[in-house]
Amino acid sequence: MMQTKEPSFNGSSEVAERVSHSATSDRPYKFVLKGAAFFFGAVVLVFVWSVLQAAWPALRQNGFHLITGTSWVAGGNGPFGAFALIADTLITTLIALLIAVPIGISSALALLFLVPPKFRTIGASLVELLAAVPSVVYGLWGLWYLTPWLSHTVQPFLAGITGSQFPFSGPQQGFSLLLAGIVLSVMILPTIVAISRDVISVVPVDLIEGGLSLGATRSQVFTKVILPTSKTGIMGAIVLGAGRALGETIAVAMVIGSNIQMPKSLFSTGGTLASTIATEFGDASGNTGAALAALALILMVITASVNAFARVLTNRAKATA
Partner 1 sequence: MTDLLTQLPPDPIYDRRKQIQERAAKTIGRRTLISRAYISMLMGCFIIALIPLGSVIYALINKGIAAISWTFLTALPSQPNLMQQDAIGGIGNAILGTIIIDLLAGLVAVPIGVLLGLYLAEATSRVADFLRAITEIMTGIPSILLGVFAYEYVVVPTKQFSGLAGIVALGVLMVPVIAKASEISFRGVPSTLREAGLALGARDSKIAKSITLPVAAPGVITGVLLSLARAMGETAPILLVVGASGAWNFNPLKPISALPLLTYNYSGSQYPSQRAAAWGVALALVTMILILSLTARIVSARMRREKR
Nearer to partner 1, 12 or 320 (CB): 12
Nearer to partner 1, 54 or 59 (CB): 54
Shortest spacing between CB 67 and partner 1, in angstroms: 18
Nearer to partner 1, 73 or 301 (CB): 301
Rounded Cα–Cα distance for residues 234 and 214 (Å): 26
Shortest spacing between CB 83 and partner 1, in angstroms: 20
Q: Give Cα 274 distance to the centre of its chain.
A: 13
Rounded Cα–Cα distance for residues 202 and 233 (Å): 10
Specify whether the backbone of 163 is left (phi greater than 0), alpha (psi in -120 to 50) or beta. Answer: left
At position 71, the amino acid (one-letter code) is S
Shortest spacing between CB 188 and partner 1, in angstroms: 11
Q: Say if residues 103 and 195 touch (Cβ distance below 8 Å).
A: no
Instruction: List alpha helices for the chain, DSSP H.
Output: 2-24, 27-62, 65-68, 83-109, 117-132, 135-141, 147-149, 155-162, 177-201, 205-213, 218-221, 227-229, 231-247, 250-255, 273-280, 288-320
Rounded Cα–Cα distance for residues 282 and 298 (Å): 20
Rounded Cα–Cα distance for residues 152 and 23 (Å): 72
Shortest spacing between CB 2 and partner 1, in angstroms: 26
Nearer to partner 1, 103 or 164 (CB): 103
Total Cβ atoms within 10 A of residue 111 = 22
Residue 4, C-beta contacts closer than 8 angstroms, at least 6 positions apart: none
Q: Say if residues 243 and 310 touch (Cβ distance below 8 Å).
A: yes
Shortest spacing between CB 270 and partner 1, in angstroms: 17
Q: Phi first, then psi: give them for residue 111, nearest 5 degrees.
A: -60, -35
Nearer to partner 1, 266 or 273 (CB): 273
Shortest spacing between CB 28 and partner 1, in angstroms: 7
Rounded Cα–Cα distance for residues 115 and 283 (Å): 51
Nearer to partner 1, 97 or 240 (CB): 240
Nearer to partner 1, 224 or 264 (CB): 224
Shortest spacing between CB 123 and partner 1, in angstroms: 7
Nearer to partner 1, 3 or 25 (CB): 25
Shortest spacing between CB 168 and partner 1, in angstroms: 22
